[in-house]
Amino acid sequence: MRRRILGLAIAVVTVAGAAGCGSSSAGTSGSSASGSGKTTQVKVGIVPIVDVAPLYLGQKKGFFSSRGIELKMESAQGGAAIIPGVVSGQFQFGFSNTTSLMIAQTKGVPVTSVANGSATTGDTTTDISGVAVKKDSPVKSAKDLAGKTVAVNTLQNIGDTTVREAVRKDGGDPSKVKFVEMPFDQMPAALDGGQVDAAWMGEPALTIAKSQGARVVASPFAETDPKLTLATFFTSTRLTKEDPDLVKKFAEAMAESLAYASAHKDEARQILTTYTKIDGDVLKNLTLPSWPAEYDMASLEKLASLGEQDGLFSDKKPDLKALFQ
């Protein structure tokens, strides 16, 4: 399947035996999405963050229903539930950051990315994630994080990998950064209360922390690569074989959704109020991700190299061409 417009954070995945699980590959209607005007219910496992706004916007605009797909979004606590859920057939599609998908593939989990999800804005001063410190912190830039305690939502994943790269690029020693795991929504209070020296936060936690006086000292995604592909929509390799037409139609609908969201950022921002509790000044001020047309393979190759350097892949390097088709 060729790459299409096919775009924070999800946990490191450990899947035991999920590849052998099986269930119905299509939705509850029992028909293909291409079948004579019939509608197929498709379940998508997501984490309700700003990155998935195009999915909800595409549902509202009818991009999926016009292709015979009835979307049902199901929230999960993280990728540790979404990836095995897709492989077992609990979900037909899922949303995950790219590092989690690479880790899963190297563990033999049969998944394939089918549509872009989100990307960095490329702006090192205003991105969808950042490392924040208290206003009076002695930390002035990424290199100063060496010797400090930094909160990330998941250890050994895209957060600490890109933070280390930001420290490295700024001339600091990334091996001296101490990472602790903490949910994004707890980070602003933990930072303000001095529980950690710094916190790597996605939106809306980052905007909330800034409203409390925090300073952003690094933008790891943009600093790692200005075109970094952060997350994608994926499915099981089994579904690509059993119902390739459904996979194609989902990818096409997602492509249309991403293009529309990119061209209508105000509508994308407003759709957040339908599936999150974000509103008011936070809604107005938070930074939206980029939703580009395609994966940026060069950035994925760089992310894979950093992951290998950090020891994320215990057995083998990820096969990016097979994973990001």
At 85-117, the pLDDT tens digits run 999 999 999 999 999 999 999 999 999 999 999
Confidence band of 223 (pLDDT split at 50, 70, 90): very high
Confidence band of 77 (pLDDT split at 50, 70, 90): low
Whether 113 and 257 map to the same domain: the answer is yes
Structural contact between residues 161 and 113, judged by C-beta atoms closer than 8 angstroms: no
The CATH code of the domain that includes 316 is 3.40.190.10
Q: What is the mean pLDDT of the chain?
A: 89
Q: What is the pLDDT of residue 93?
A: 98
Range of the domain at 179: 129-224
Question: Which of 101, 100, 46 minimizes the C-alpha distance to 76?
Answer: 46
Q: What is the pLDDT of residue 131?
A: 98
Q: Report the C-alpha gap between 130 and 125 in whole angstroms.
A: 9
Q: Are strands 69-75 and 178-181 parallel, antiparallel or unpaired?
A: unpaired
Q: pLDDT (tens digit, 9 = 90+) per residue, 193-217?
A: 999 999 999 999 999 999 999 999 9
Whether 220 and 235 map to the same domain: the answer is no
- Say how many C-beta atoms besides its own lie within 10 A of residue 70's C-beta: 16
Q: What is the pLDDT of residue 38?
A: 86
| 12, part of any domain | no
Whether 215 and 286 map to the same domain: the answer is no
Whether 258 and 170 map to the same domain: the answer is no
Q: What is the pLDDT of residue 4?
A: 36
